[in-house]
Structure 1
């Protein structure tokens, strides 16, 4: 049987529309408006790298130009409209989804117990009870407040002292929750002191969570394979998502289509009935040039980004400098529905300058005065997010 096809242009527009990037976004970028953006995306990945702006701030700013980081802090720490936990990585997630994470807590408990016993320094299991008592007795605490007499690691990001590992374990398994971030350091308390009571008492069974995870992932992506639905939240396993797709297909709740990649190659995917017509009716994309986070939800699945946009992107943090093709942490740049390049820029907050040291147009992208002007307009907007008052382009910044 011949499957309906979704052309590459329509697929890009649908995908970017579902990710809030098809048109220039309006709105204040705070309060209920910001909570709505996060709800539409599903979650926003949190990351510590701050050469220009942290990943979560850049993700939200790309959709709401008035957004500034204190607005997200308020949603988490004051409004309790979001909570912080794990999808494929640390993320802020709408608060009403918390009941579904209880199943994640249970699954992670056994997995972390086994894996962290191998990957982390010895002794964290023995510290769990003591750390739990410390949080219960003292309330808000950070990893600096526990294990004060333990030797601090020197082996990199994940070389935690045992009590810090125990504190993270209590968070990942649901006993503790993140109250707020001080700088980028997580502040924890017992979950019952953080999560609103009506959310805390809500329960779902495991099948309800699988149904919700697959349904919501498909709606937020627009189309996807069963594996992509499983990976969206990392709440359903690949096998569970595959079974859900088969059952939903039999009920007529979803249909199977072919989505054409940038090279014309088809890929079988699932979508909702009527979505093909909706995709073809979408308006053209805004001509704005956008600087995106390397962890933007539209690009975080690197294989999908390459298949859909022809954009091969990898972060070169762990690549020796002599072997790097680009800077170690460069930002993807989009115009309309096309990825047009990547930019290396850093905020020097001591001088107030946003320094652009390199821009690499994608193969086949012609660089002219129009694109130059649109990139400069985006940099002028971006400087304020980075805490700068001017943009400085170094000699040779355009790497044709």
Structure 2
């Protein structure tokens, strides 16, 4: 089969539509998360927590953060867990639809080193389950560390035996995040948190996950989604692509949006550079004097183009959303500037703040 050939503008529009950032805004939280497949959690809240900012970028000010908490802790239509596809990289927390439990949990989850550690700590494993059964939900500090072999790591998880055991048991479907007290998670037996579900065999689950990932992205580099979708070439690109065939040829109407630095539209920096000609780096870990765009600059989408970055911060004590700079990757037209200003005003209103420039 010959590769599907896409003009660059069509490839961008496929990506924007798939991420629900076109003019037709979603109106319900759960279908939004089902399409995106997950929301990434990050504690940085220079403007707002990333998961909330990602939803606001799509639903607008009709969205309230309490809706996400309600879905996770009360309705149980979403669940929280950490994911680590690469053992050399730290895991990151995410929220997924509960309907996808069987695709992301497995009784054999984990890397070989993790399997060996759990086997060496079987009594500790049972102690954790027994403690939760008798008194859960609990904070991790309320669970005794009875490990016989400590978890060894060069990172922050070193000797964090209780938390490490809990995370691994979440991946196996034995334990679940039940809720939060402030930023701290509470833990309980999975059977008391999740509705009944069945594990999907790993080979089938991987195939479905690839298909869901491609549907959420619209178009992706081939190595990111396996054999999902159909092969494609993009005008002017030397990369190998896979595209969701159902996303091709659909009408497009764009809008302006301010994105989280963790937004999946721009998360794959190679794709962003190739399709959108957009250079971006989250600079909060850089010294202030070395930042080009700001501590937590928000990428700016206009129609099907990434056009700049917003350097802003929520100063809640002063009651303002402080706009330090708007970096234009391309010269803004009067319409673009008006649209960006309107989004900034909407963001400030959603946060309950006033806009302050400079």
Name the TM-score class by shorter chain. Answer: 0.7 to 0.9
SS at match of 2:22: coil
Q: Aligned partners of 1:357, 1:37: CA distance in 2, in Å?
A: 31
1:259 paired residue number? 234
Question: In the alignment, what sits opposite 1:69?
Answer: 65
Shift of 1:390: 0.6
Superposed, 1:224-243 pairs within 5 Å as 224-229=220-225, 241=226
TM-score, scaled to structure 2: 0.85
Residue equivalent to 2:150: none
With over 3 angstroms needed to count, the CA separation of the structure-2 counterparts of 1:225 and 1:181, relative to structure 1, is: same
Runs of 4+ in 1 over 6 A off after TM superposition: 123-126
- Equivalent in the alignment of 1:335: 302
Alignment match, 1:358: 325
SS of the equivalent of 1:107 reads coil
CA displacement 1:210-243 (0-9 Å, x = unmatched): 23122222333223344111xxxxxxxxxxx3xx
Contact 1:142–1:185 (CA<8 Å) still a contact in 2? yes
How is 1:172-211 mapped onto 2 (pairs within 5 angstroms)? Answer: 172-197=171-196, 199=197, 202-211=198-207
The one of 30, 36, 48 aligned to 1:35: 30
How far apart, in 2, do the equivalents of 1:330 and 1:124 lie? 44
In the other structure, the counterpart of 2:212 is 216
Q: 1:168 to 1:270 in 2, by over 3 A?
A: closer
Distance in 2 (alpha carbons) for counterparts of 1:18 and 1:68: 23
Match of 1:108 among 107, 110, 114: 110
Give the number of equivalent residue pairs.
344
For residues 302-334 of structure 1, the C-alpha deviation after alignment (integer angstroms, 9 at most, x for no partner) is 211111111111112332333222323221111
CA pair 106-374 structure 1, distance change in 2 beyond 3 A: same
Q: Which runs of 5+ in 1 are unaligned?
A: 28-32, 117-122, 150-154, 230-240, 249-253, 395-400
Q: Distance in 2 between matches of 1:332 and 1:158?
A: 32
Residues 146-204 of structure 1 deviation map (CA, whole Å, 9 limit, x = unaligned):
3599xxxxx9965674333333333344321111223332221111111112x2xx232
Using the TM superposition, give the Cα deviation of residue 40 of structure 1 relative to its aligned residue in structure 2, in angstroms: 1.2
Rounded Cα–Cα distance in structure 1 between residues aligned with 2:155 and 2:325:
28
2:39 is the alignment partner of 1:44? yes
Pairing of 1:17-28 with structure 2 (within 5 A): 17-27=17-27
Question: Which of 234, 238, 243 pairs up with 1:271?
Answer: 243
Shift of residue 109, structure 1, vs aligned partner = 5.3
- Matched with 2:96 is 93
Q: Return the alpha-carbon distance in structure 2 between the equivalents of residues 272 and 338 of structure 1.
A: 20
Question: Which whole-Å CA distance do the structure 2 matches of 1:124 and 1:339 have between them?
Answer: 50
The CA deviation at 1:69 is 0.6
SS of match in other structure, 1:62: helix
Structure 2 vs 1, CA of residues 107 and 358 (structure 1 numbering), >3 Å: closer, same or farther? same
Instruction: Please report the RMSD computed on the Cα atoms of aligned residues, expressed in angstroms.
Output: 3.0
